[in-house]
Amino acid sequence: EPEPEPEPEPEPEPEPEPEPEPEPEPEPELPVDEEETTEEKDTLVEPEEAPAAPIPRVISSSGSSAPTKPTPEPEVEEEKEEPPAAEKSVIPDPAERVNPAQRMPAAGATPPMSSTGKPIPPPPGPLTSNSGKPIPPPPGMGGRRNEQPTGGPPGRRNSPPPAGRRPAPGGGPRESVPGAGVRPGGGPGGARPGGPGGGRPGGPGGRRPPARRKKRRRSREELQPMGTPNYTPEDAAVPEGEVVVERSSTAQELGPKLNRTAADVVRFLMQQGEMVTATQSLSDDMIELFAAEIGAEIRMVDLGEEQEVELLKLLDVIDDAADDEAPLRPPVITVMGHVDHGKTKLLDQIRKANVVDGEAGGITQHIGAYQAEHGGNTLTFIDTPGHEAFTAMRARGAGATDIVILVVAADDGVMPQTVEAISHAKSADVPIVVAINKMDRENSDADRVLAQIAEHELVPESWGGDTVTVEVSALQNTGIDDLLDNLQVIAEVEDLRADPDGRAQGVVLESNLDIGRGPMATILVQRGTLRVGDPLVAGAAWGKVRAMINDQGEQVKEAGPSTPVQVLGLSDVPDAGEGFVVAPNEKIAGRVADKRGHWRRQANIGRDAHALSGGARLEDIFEQIQKGEAANLNLIVKADVNGSLEAVIESLRKLEREEVRLSFVHRGVGGITENDIQLAAAANATIIGFNVRPERKARDFARTENVEIRTYEIIYKLIEDIESAMVGMLAPEFEEVV
């Protein structure tokens, strides 16, 4: 087949050329009859028979053919002299193949004008195939391909307009035809189907999508150079007086408090070898080091400590002075002393119970709270551990007590934990009663004990002092009544009172996570009356009291002053030693607990964060120490109660040395779970369990992941085991130590 002749490219501003024969003006020829319409349709079948003159056709703004009926009053539009862009464009019939030269307006006729007043050149011929047949429009014309013209004769359909023959905005018809030198879709000259006058389908003609421009502009902004950090002159003023700085503050928070910028803090710490950023939480050592460098005096406080006063006002905490006219309450007596000196056995004799036989190794590792009756009066006892690891427990017991019983074995005398207990009792400013136990032993020497306690400013009454001493034997049950009588006398002298009315307040003695009952806390009510259903706040934990259990294991509905109970219904395990208070309503309770929880999470950010970046397990410590390398031992510690967890952490921290540093990846209350195994595998850590066991699935998962689990029931065995490993004396083992 012969190739079609190339269509002539339209000129930008054509000059009127002389026509070979005059043609009528296009506008008067707008009205056409049915016969002329029939002739136009016939030309589609035989394109080679072209009529002598083009028959104009009106194209609507939607791209479809306008009706062929006569236009009423055509002279009105010509008299308005509006720009051609505001009216419908008049173009020849797209179904015809006509010589472009014959499409020129006749002499004297007004050609189509653009919005700038320039004449618009006529478009080239329609797009046809090699056989001369018109090519149908491409997809994208939607339902316009076979639209029925509104003004055409019934039963007749007009052919769809070819591609590129839609009117451009702002002028006459322009088209994009392959070979004509115009790229489809670019600018106002080449229109792509689906959009008015060029551009992407459905978008504005000749414009780029705004998203691309926005993205490019954002990229340019990101490439802009950052400003130079501002440094404070070295002779800048230092804040006078004591500056309160919260722990875990960032450089942005620390700098302004010390009249410095964050850049000053970061630059100084980098000079000291600490790679930090302006938004990274700083350790206490970093903060104190920078303060010492500039000569500022600071006081470190916990995050949220300054705001705690506002929270106490929100909770409406009652002052102690309100108890002056209140009724008497039972005394709270704490039993303290060195390990294995018979404290728990003495309490068993007082309560007519047998607690010591159920303790691991025969030593107390939890705080226990009990009540006993003597002479018609109620006495509340708190049993504290005697091992050196439980210093914090003894301090809490002394802080919540009215009287301290210092138990000293007659055969051992005063021991290190005995001296520590004396210090706790003196710091709490409470009276001390010395119980010289194990008087049934053959090598017992009470006089030696009296001389030893006198060295610590506890002068016995028999020596002219004011310290009450009683010789007892818990095993033989001798001297117990004499001890209780002295306790009642001291309680009467102390005049202990508390108001039983109003909302309850007190202290958390111990806390743990029970598998079946959830978070539990052993609390001591010090003021008011705690009832089931009260909204209770203890540190960052809160909740409605669902149940209360006394020391006999019985459920009770309420607990008055000096009464120890176990509480169920809290949202989390509270820290031992936290004070608790009943809030006015649940909304305030939740708000206070959430604020405290937020401050504590912020304080923990960055603490032991280096643990996940590297470290060794317990079984690898020996090898690294033999090579002379400094090792970082990663540990996950789980315990049965919060107090034991605290004791284990503090004991392990004392074992740190230059060759081995400890990093506690995670610490928590409860059994060892699969989540602990996953964390240990990711952090290359060893799991230490105290009085807890791994679940069966967790144990199997640990074997699969080669995670080492070590469980203990006696704390001194745990400490000895870890210490032996840290000095390189423990060979790698893969078994649980019970």
Q: Please give, one letter per residue, the 3-state secondary structure of 163-232.
A: CCCCECCCCCECCCCCCCCCCCCCCCCCCCCCCCCCCCCCCCCCCCCHHHHHHHHHHHHHCCCCCCCCCC
Instruction: Tell me: do 390 and 469 sit in the same domain.
Output: yes
Q: What residues make up the domain containing 616?
A: 609-726
Instruction: Tell me: do 3 and 101 sit in the same domain.
Output: yes
* Mean pLDDT confidence for 567-577: 88
Q: Is the pLDDT of residue 281 over 60?
A: yes
pLDDT band, very low/low/confident/very high, at 60 (cuts 50, 70, 90): low
What is the separation of C-alpha 550 from the centre of its chain, rounded to a whole number of angstroms?
38
Is residue 586 situated within a structural domain? yes
Nearest one of 243, 226, 233, 236 to 278, comparing CA atoms: 226
Is residue 204 situated within a structural domain? no
Average pLDDT, the chain: 71
Is residue 4 situated within a structural domain? yes
Residues 6+ apart with CB under 8 A from 637: 645, 648, 649, 652, 664, 666, 667, 668, 688, 689, 690
Nearest one of 634, 627, 631 to 686, comparing CA atoms: 634
Highest mean pLDDT among 173-177, 403-407, 717-721: 403-407
Which two tokens mark 628? 């002379």
Lowest-confidence segment of 94-98, 313-317, 320-324, 596-600 by average pLDDT: 94-98
Phi, psi of 374 (to 5 degrees): -150, 120
Instruction: Tell me: do 43 and 178 sit in the same domain.
Output: yes
Which two tokens mark 713? 């029931």
Which of 301, 317, 347 is the last residue before a domain boundary? 301
Nearest one of 153, 45, 30 to 92, comparing CA atoms: 30
Q: Is the pLDDT of residue 430 over 60?
A: yes
Instruction: Tell me: do 158 and 31 sit in the same domain.
Output: yes
Instruction: Tell me: do 614 and 553 sit in the same domain.
Output: no
Is residue 83 situated within a structural domain? yes
CA distance 521 to 512: 6
Nearest one of 699, 703, 697 to 689, comparing CA atoms: 699
Instruction: Tell me: do 532 and 630 sit in the same domain.
Output: no
Is residue 234 situated within a structural domain? no
pLDDT band, very low/low/confident/very high, at 59 (cuts 50, 70, 90): low
pLDDT at 544: 93
Is residue 734 situated within a structural domain? no
Is residue 52 situated within a structural domain? yes
The b/e string for 92-115 (b: 16+ C-beta within 10 A; e otherwise) is bbbbbbbeeebbbbeeeeebbbbe
Report the DSSP pairing between strands 631-639 and 660-669. Answer: parallel
pLDDT at 535: 93
Domain count, the chain: 5
Residue with tokens 């400094």: 630
CA distance 669 to 661: 23
Domain of 577, CATH number, reads: 2.40.30.10
Highest mean pLDDT among 12-16, 19-23, 172-176, 529-533: 529-533
Instruction: Tell me: do 33 and 108 sit in the same domain.
Output: yes
* Mean pLDDT confidence for 6-22: 51
Instruction: Tell me: do 598 and 615 sit in the same domain.
Output: no
Residue with tokens 């745990």: 718
Residues 6+ apart with CB under 8 A from 461: 467, 468, 469
Which of 604, 623, 643 is the last residue before a domain boundary? 604
Domain of 697, CATH number, reads: 3.40.50.10050
Instruction: Tell me: do 589 and 656 sit in the same domain.
Output: no
Q: Is the pLDDT of residue 541 over 80?
A: yes
Phi, psi of 302 (to 5 degrees): -70, 150
Tens-digit pLDDT profile for residues 64-117: 555 555 545 544 444 444 444 444 444 555 444 545 455 555 555 566 777 777
Q: Is the pLDDT of residue 183 over 60?
A: no
Q: Is the pLDDT of residue 558 over 90?
A: yes
Is residue 316 situated within a structural domain? no
Instruction: Tell me: do 181 and 253 sit in the same domain.
Output: no
Residue 533 vs residue 63, higher pLDDT: 533
Instruction: Tell me: do 266 and 380 sit in the same domain.
Output: no
Which of 545, 571, 604 is the last residue before a domain boundary? 604
Instruction: Tell me: do 338 and 484 sit in the same domain.
Output: yes
CA distance 639 to 652: 14
pLDDT at 728: 56
CA distance 617 to 51: 96
CA distance 17 to 100: 12
Q: Is the pLDDT of residue 366 over 70?
A: no
Residue 504 vs residue 207, higher pLDDT: 504
